[in-house]
Chain A
Amino acid sequence: MSTDLIHPGNPVEPFLRTDRMPHIWCPGCGIGTTVNCFSRALIESCMNVNDMAIVSGIGCTGRVAGYVNLDSFHTTHGRAIPFATGLKLANPKRQVVVYSGDGDLFAIGGNHLIHAARRNIDLKVICVNNLIYAMTGGQTGPATPGDVITSTAPYGTFDPAFNLPYLTEAAGAVYVARWTTFHVRQITKTMQEMFSKKGFCFLEIVSPCPTLYQRRNKMGDGLDTMKYYKAMSKVKHGANTKDVPLSRQGEIIVGKFVDIERPNYMELMRNKLHDSLGEQYVETDELTCEEATSCSDCS
């Protein structure tokens, strides 16, 4: 057999901690798909991966940080965003990605999310929304739609869910998009766009949890969910985020909803301190002596 027929390896391999495989995610889970998209976005952007750090909270999506071969931080439940804020402010040149789930970012971490968006901290927040607390056993989450059976809502949920893009835009995000795990090319492209955008960027990826959400609600397996995403997703770029809530089996509005410009936290801080302190202000690019490598020769 000719050796050139042997596959040289998966192109995303360098971005993964292959020594940690197999991963813990269930068959049909969408999180691995999003990691594949993330790795491809890294390949296709001009990013030097050493310039990127990734921060996760707790839960199934919280485990992403442990599988990608970057400076990676698996923090406490709900606190990925404040940890990432410290990391970013100490290293303003570095790209800091927050990669976590709907429960982590919007329930226990909801306060941090809205304040980071308000301040426009330059973070790229990727939220894998499987509509449920998965790792801890399928309990109701802040994004669980009505009429869904969960382990803490055995008769069906009745507390209203957050519409994540609407909330994030209202809090001040400069970039808000949503896709499902069916939209792998769009996810990759959106991630690339976020990497080159300054400020608080938010991407929601609607993703199946076949083990706890779909099974308990008799919605089939991972493949059935893909078919549902394909049939029910409608691309509406620029849609009013007020009009994009998710329901149990209704339409899923996807696309890029928000892409605006406003000064980010570091710019606001530097401008104010320059104005107030003049020459007394000592500006720092990093709070250590190290220098970040730039990707300025890419265009």
Chain B
Amino acid sequence: MQADPAGVLTGSHFLDGDHACCEGALAAGARFSSGYPITPSTEVVERFAARVPTVGGTFIQMEDELAASITLQGAVWGGAKAFTVTSGPGFSLMMEHLGYAVMTETPCVFVNVQRGGPSTGLPTLPAQGDMMQARWGSHGDYEIIALCPNSPQECFDLTIKAFNYAEKYRVPALVMLDEVVGHMTEKVVIPTADQIEVEPRHFTTKDPNNFHLYAPDENGAPEMAHLGQGYSVHVTGLTHDERGYPNMTPQTQDSLMKRLKNKILDHVDDIVLYEEQDVEGAEVVVVSYGITSRVAQRAIDMAKDRGLKVGKFRIITAWPFPEKQIREIASKVKGIVVPELNLGQMVREVERAANGQCRTKLVPHAGGTVHRPEDILNAIVEVLR
């Protein structure tokens, strides 16, 4: 399905990442957002509040993040495409409802513009400290999809992708910006609506008497039902059977949990996005994401000037993790360098995927600013030593 032209601001624009993210949501068909102000994310919904009344939709500023993260799910079941926007402390408050969206298979998008933490931390300064919270912050077993843009252009492009994945797999999709990407201003090219592919909501055409709300189709994700058309859907965060009725048996729990995980894990190749450069023949590969990947690029260029064989692997889809790709790289190189604006989060996944085939070296940074390229360069040199 192609985008609705009403929401597409076709043209070349000079936008910051937060505003580009808002335009991506509008282009993807989002017509509802519930938010609660928090730096450095609020510009996304500030723009949405200004734009959405002119395309037909609603923004509501809720009383807290708990409310914001469940109000949007009510709107989704009401038929809207919806999202919320927050930063670290607010993201922590939203965790129960991330789980609710997973359990009820509510297609929705959470945008998290990361800042330094823990707690109030560095409200106006960058970090990449929520990467594990995104994956494990809610309780129980689950899979979500998380994308990491490194430019305002990608804030636009990947927000559309997040909405599309959310609909396709009926899962909450996360857009994990960081403060620098959220606030940097660059050229953003927005194509015409007919060039933007939008995943429609998969509403059932079955008769209400012959429809089970949680019976998976061949892709693993169930169809949705239009409210008010006699389907009498029952949606619950309790473990439930295919009708949506609570069912507390270990067998139901087992099959539901496995289906919720496998509908994502069985489609990793469709979901995992990444960027590779000079990985073939490299002795060291730098694995990075978000703003850190742009600093890493400078370090890689400096290393190449010194004649070192360095490749780049940029994680775009952080969750599910690009395990297969990292494992293959690890089998061919002497070492992997992982700079992160945290004291070691995604590096654990890299180490797990590398499985001891090569050396992995974290270049930690507690946040507040970006890495010095020299620190990444030093790590490259050290791994080669």
Contact = CB atoms under 8 A, between A and B. Distances in A.
Interface in A245-273: 269, 273
Contacts of B70: 75-76, 79, 82-83, 86
Contact of A55 (B68, B74, B229, B245): B74
Contacts of B233: 71-72
B2 to A, nearest CB: 16
A55 B237 CA distance: 12
B234 A287 contact: no
B62 interface: yes
B32 A273 contact: no
A239 to B, nearest CB: 29
B132 interface: no
Interface stretch (A28-36, A136-144, A277-285): A277-285
Interface stretch (B51-59, B155-163, B294-302): B51-59
Interface string A84-98: 111111110010000
Contacts of A94: 78, 227-228
Contact of A91 (B63, B79, B82): B79
Most buried by B among A73, A88, A292: A73
B227 A280 contact: no
Interface residues of A, number: 46
Contacts of A286: 78-79
A197 interface: no
B212 to A, nearest CB: 13
B337 interface: no
A53 B227 contact: yes
Contacts of A71: 77, 227-228, 231-233
Nearest to A282: B56
Contacts of A240: none
Given A74-B238, A281-B53, 4 more contacts: A82-B71, A86-B82, A277-B54, A290-B228
B279 interface: no
Contact of A86 (B75, B231, B232): B75
Nearest to A112: B67
B313 interface: no
Interface of A: 17, 20, 50-51, 53, 55, 65-66, 69-76, 78-79, 82-91, 94, 111-112, 115, 269, 273, 277, 280-284, 286-288, 290, 292-293
B234 A51 contact: no
Given A51-B228, A86-B78, A277 B73 contact: no
Given A17-B234, A70-B232, A90 B79 contact: yes
Most buried by A among B66, B96, B228: B228
Contacts of A280: 53-54
B67 A82 contact: yes
Contacts, number: 163
Contact of A72 (B63, B64, B73, B235): B235
Given A74-B238, A280-B54, A87 B228 contact: no
B48 interface: no
A87 B77 contact: yes
A85 B31 CA distance: 15
Contacts of B80: 90, 287-288
A89 B31 CA distance: 11
Contacts of B96: 76
Interface string B36-68: 000000000000000001111110101110111
Contacts of B100: 75-76
A284 B57 contact: yes
Interface in B79-98: 79-80, 82, 96-97
Given A65-B234, A83-B71, A86-B73, A287 B78 contact: yes
Contact of A79 (B77, B97, B231): B97
B11 interface: no
A262 B303 CA distance: 68
A146 B383 CA distance: 68
B79 to A, nearest CB: 3
B226 interface: yes
Given A82-B70, A86-B32, A86-B82, A112 B234 contact: no
Contacts of A79: 66-67, 70, 97
A75 B237 contact: yes
B5 interface: no
Contacts of B6: 282
A206 B77 CA distance: 31
Contacts of B236: 65-66, 73-74
A284 B231 CA distance: 24
30 contacts: A17-B234, A20-B245, A50-B230, A51-B228, A69-B232, A71-B227, A73-B74, A76-B97, A82-B62, A82-B74, A85-B62, A85-B71, A86-B32, A86-B70, A86-B75, A86-B78, A87-B78, A87-B227, A90-B32, A90-B75, A90-B79, A111-B67, A112-B63, A112-B66, A115-B67, A283-B56, A288-B78, A290-B79, A290-B226, A290-B229
A90 B78 contact: yes
B373 interface: no
B32 A76 contact: no
